[in-house]
A and B are shown apart, each in its own frame.
Chain A
Amino acid sequence: MNQAATQQPATEAADKPPVSSIDLRKEFESVAIAPVLEQLDRELIGLVPVKTRIREIASLLLVERIRQKMALATTFPTLHMSFTGNPGTGKTTVAMRIAGILHKLGFVRRGHVINVTRDDLVGQYIGHTAPKTKEILKKAMGGVLFIDEAYYLYRPENERDYGQESIEILLQIMESQREDLVVILAGYGDRMEKFFQSNPGFRSRIAHHIDFPDYSDPELLAIADLMLQDQNYHFSPDAREAFVRYIAVRKTQPLFSNARSIRNALDRIRLRQANRLVADLDRVLTGGDVMSIEASDVLASRVFADSANGKAR
């Protein structure tokens, strides 16, 4: 039938005789790594350990390609990763990005992300877990399987928990089909540490343990600027100053979750800005008015009120 796919031609590398020397720059440009890394630097603030690791992986790809052309032994690197860090440090965001990066670098074939938690992997009754886990794994083939809050998979307090079964299947596939699938585990640092302690097999099968540091104040401000820019807003100079103070105060309060707190704060600031604009109906709004966030929008936050009360008490 003519609708059938034709077989892929053999790769070029296999046909050519091995070469003895290679122009590194030419090779570097042909893989188009540089734009990927530049985009990463531009769009993600901070996260130095993460960027370093991605850079290393990209370099490895380049070297492996060159080795292949020189007909030297190449082995497929283990790319399974574990992301640990406090809430809001960008674990999920990076995981979504990494699939695209690995795809561009040629480590995964399709570059999609399957985002799962315990519910998607572990069944409710005997015999339910294995098909469920396998189905998810099949869906993730050729891409990245992102297991958020992976420590929930293992519940030591219940010895009949089906999580263990799921873990065993995961481990087996992670080992046997490294070329087809990249598994990324994510979770808060201390709990992931406990998880790895009780499942030593996991730790050794994961090559990249990346710890996400907390953001510094200037980084948080830069993140806020970037978020606003994406939404076509900007701080007025006063508002920016107020927001610097907001970050400093918010950090000392409980339940601070880095970039997520910033995003929520910006959402509330936008609400207040909208309210301020709507309060005065008898005026003509310019684009600048609608885009600009004033100091009063920031200062009305409950965060400042709470900190003032705290001092008074």
Chain B
Amino acid sequence: MRVTQGCFSFLPDLTDEQITAQVQFCLEKGWAVNIEFTDDPHPRNTYWDMWGLPMFDLRDAAGIMKELTECRRVYGDRYIRMSGFDSSHGWESVRISFIVNRPKEENGFRLERQETDGRSIRYTTRAYSVDRPEGSRYAGDA
């Protein structure tokens, strides 16, 4: 099942050219673009790992694309996303975030039903991939 988080996730995967254009757009807005990766695709997982240091004060997308290439080389079997952080007063938050790399096989989520008091049911989702230990969740597919 295709994970749809952030911008453009219902579109076909962005090409590197398109990613470059998006990154340049963010830089021209004055946002700091950072690269994050994870192997836990749960939509409520906000704690992605950051690739390298935050990248402030860049003018051109080339530097970020180089980091992305590096990140893909190391974590090509995981989800990688770009985020544009707006540090201006009043915003101070992420303004855009989009996925730039996915595992080959996205094996989706299991829906769990828990019967509780009375006839109530609680629902939760769990990614099949997290059944395996961190770091080897998508290793077989890469």
Contact = CB atoms under 8 A, between A and B. Distances in A.
Interface in A118-142: 131, 135, 137-139, 141-142
Contacts of A3: 96
A5 B58 contact: no
B117 interface: no
A5 B24 contact: yes
B105 to A, nearest CB: 28
B118 to A, nearest CB: 42
Main secondary structure of the interface of A (DSSP, over half): loop
A142 B62 contact: yes
Contacts of B64: 138
A4 B22 contact: yes
Contacts of A138: 55, 58, 63-64, 66-67
A137 B63 contact: yes
B59 A112 contact: yes
Most B Cβ at <10 Å: residue of A6, A109, A135, A181: A135
Contacts of A7: 17-18, 21
B86 to A, nearest CB: 11
B57 interface: yes
A109 B60 CA distance: 8
A contact residues, range = 20 to 34
Given A4-B22, A8-B21, A141 B59 contact: yes
B53 interface: yes
A208 interface: no
Contacts of A177: 62, 66
Contacts of B96: 1, 3-4
A9 to B, nearest CB: 11
B52 interface: yes
A138 B67 CA distance: 9
Nearest to A138: B63
Nearest to A135: B53
Interface of B: 7-8, 17-18, 21-22, 24-25, 52-53, 55, 57-64, 66-67, 96
28 contacts: A1-B8, A4-B7, A4-B22, A5-B25, A6-B21, A7-B17, A7-B21, A8-B21, A110-B59, A131-B52, A135-B55, A137-B63, A138-B55, A138-B58, A138-B64, A138-B66, A139-B57, A141-B59, A141-B60, A141-B61, A141-B62, A141-B63, A142-B59, A142-B61, A142-B62, A143-B59, A143-B60, A177-B66
